[in-house]
Amino acid sequence: MSRNLRPVSSVLLIFIFFSVIFPEVLPQLINSSYPNCPSYNCSDVTIDYPFWRSDTEFTSQFCGYEGFGINCSVINNTVIPTINLSGEPYHVQRINYNTSVISLVDYDVSNIIHVPNDCPRVRHGIDLGTLSFNFSQSNANLSFHYNCTGYPSFANAIPCLDSSTVRKASVNVINPATENFNWSEYACDEEVVTTVLREAIIVAGSDQGINYVSGLRRGFELNWWPVEDCRKCEESEGRCGRNNNTSELMCFCSDGTNQCNKGTFNYTTTRIS
């Protein structure tokens, strides 16, 4: 077990070293809370626990939840924060730490990528995998059908995505009236379901058409909630992380040790196989 504590121990050793040589440095070091869990501004998105920055060179350990790494890299001269969900990139637009809501846009259809005729094509669904994310209640689901022989009256044609004059593309909102529709008569090659903010697709003064392009560009919202493995660490006012080389959970405490709230909680790192 002591092997897992090595990064924390070396920080302690440095503390002790400096406190002997330069005693006046110690209070400053002690005051810096969660030394391994820095906050970082990526464009106008603040990356803070349980999110973490994934594009630094210090990737042997991270403070935050698995899968919550945000890549803050420069794309075409612009700083663009992205997060991966099941290997697919999403543009991070906002993170609200008060309400635990993160707003994302599928990178393929975001306005970062310029597509001819302003005609984005959704290529994949949104797979949250086992991450502790949930779709928020503000979303609606859209179903895209490609290369069909036609489309039912409740669907909206997307002429710019037709693959030929007889292979049509369309989109519809998934609701109780449409979700069980049998599409087999239209012999589509592909169906992709994605999620957008409900309010973003409403066309004023119409209950038929939907503005799916502006919906795609505004993206969708996810809620996150505490990871069970991290509960004990967080209850003792620590912050959860992981050693990426050994996959072991770590608990970072405000005093730089790995024993948060001394006396009430004795945290040892646990191996997740």
State how far Cα 127 lies from the chain centre. Answer: 11
H-run or E-run covering 135: strand 133-135
Q: What whole-number distance in Å separates Cα of residue 240 and Cα of residue 50?
A: 8
# residues contacting ligand NAG (CB under 6 A):
42
Using CA atoms, how far residue 89 sits from 24, 92, 126, 266, 272, in Å, is: 46, 9, 10, 38, 26
Is residue 191 part of the contact set for ligand NAG (CB under 6 A)? Answer: no
Among 13, 16, 25, 113, binds ligand NAG (CB under 6 A): 113
H-run or E-run covering 251: strand 248-252
Q: What's the closest the beta carbon of residue 163 comes to ligand NAG, in angstroms? A: 3
Q: What's the closest the beta carbon of residue 238 comes to ligand NAG, in angstroms? A: 15
Which pair of tokens denotes residue 106? 């599928």
Instruction: Give me the residue label for tokens 């092997």.
Output: 3
**Smaller CB distance to ligand NAG: residue 194 or 213?**
194
**Smaller CB distance to ligand NAG: residue 188 or 213?**
188
Cis status of the peptide bond prior to 81, with omega within 30 of 0 = no
**Smaller CB distance to ligand NAG: residue 41 or 270?**
41
Binding window for ligand NAG (CB under 6 A); candidates: 115-123, 187-195, 212-220, 249-257: 187-195
**Dihedral of CA 199/200/204/208: which sign?**
negative
Query: What is the footprint of ligand NAG within residues 4-23 (CB under 6 A)?
Result: none
**Smaller CB distance to ligand NAG: residue 147 or 254?**
147
**Smaller CB distance to ligand NAG: residue 71 or 214?**
71
Residue 250: name the closest of 26, 36, 19 by CA.
Answer: 36
Which pair of tokens denotes residue 137? 């209640």
**Smaller CB distance to ligand NAG: residue 46 or 254?**
46
Contact call for residues 205 and 191 (beta carbons, < 8 A): no
Q: What whole-number distance in Å separates Cα of residue 247 and Cα of residue 171?
A: 42
**Smaller CB distance to ligand NAG: residue 117 or 205?**
117
φ, ψ for residue 262, nearest 5 deg: -40, 135
Query: What is the footprint of ligand NAG within residues 25-84 (CB under 6 A)?
Result: 27-28, 31, 39-41, 46, 54-55, 59, 62, 69, 71, 73, 75-76, 84
Among 1, 21, 87, 204, binds ligand NAG (CB under 6 A): 87
Which residue's CB atom is positioned nearest to ligand NAG? 59
Q: Which residues form the interface with ligand NAG (CB under 6 A)?
A: 27-28, 31, 39-41, 46, 54-55, 59, 62, 69, 71, 73, 75-76, 84, 87, 96, 98, 112-114, 134-135, 139-141, 146-147, 163-164, 167, 174, 182, 184, 189-190, 195, 225, 244, 266
